[in-house]
Amino acid sequence: MRGVVVGVVVCGLLAGCTSKEPGPEPSVVVPTSPSAGADLACGVDRASIEAVSGYPVDRVTGELSVQEGVGSGRCEVWTTEQDGVLFVVELWPLSAEEALRDRDLVDGKVGNPATYTYDPSVADGAMWSGNDEPVDRVRGSVFSYIFWGETFVVVYFSAVAPLRTPSQDFLAITEQVATTYGLQRPGAAG
């Protein structure tokens, strides 16, 4: 009987060790700016994308640009370990139809209510399917809309690794994009 119990415990441990669950250690903190010499994807340190999603970056498509301090464009990150796009950044001028429409969404005037709204002293934005608590598992995609200076920044992940805190990660990712592309900080005189 003792051999059977030991065998069951060993099998259980091996199953846990070989789990296909994505994700780095939850202690990885996403920095608010990419480190010097970082390998960037969509203006974000690849290591940050991999920490938040739990998947490796395999391919990057699209382009982001800035003219007179205002961002525009769409950039996508793909992984071979799941179907579909893994990570997206979109930049829109505040005067763009998308930014105007989503201003009302962030403010809760239309559409589905946000699952998390940033304190206005921290960021002008909100997120859906994520919050300020570490979660064991996020089901479905998570995205944030943050108004950054004269640019509306959309960040989307189709997967979030276990024990991540989406509100912190997405704000740090937005700040990396802003730093990389020189977007004017919110509230800065221009």
Is 146 within a domain?
Answer: yes
Residue 169 lies in a domain: yes
Q: What is the pLDDT of residues 71-119, one digit of tens each?
A: 999 999 999 998 899 999 999 999 999 999 999 999 999 988 898 999 9
Rounded to whole angstroms, the Cα distance separating 151 from 186 reads 9
Q: Give domain status of residue 84, yes or no.
A: yes
Give the pLDDT score at 129. Answer: 82
Quick check: is 126 in a domain?
yes
The answer as to whether 189 is a domain residue is no
Low-confidence ranges of the chain (pLDDT < 50): 2, 4-20, 23-25, 190
Structure confidence at residue 137 (pLDDT): 63
Instruction: State the total domains in the chain.
Output: 1
Domain of residue 70, residue span: 2-181
Does any domain span residue 187?
Answer: no
* Cα distance between residue 6 and residue 3, in whole Å: 5
**Rounded-to-integer distance, Cα 128 and Cα 144, Å:** 6
CATH, residue 126:
3.40.1000
pLDDT at position 5: 41
Residue 188 lies in a domain: no
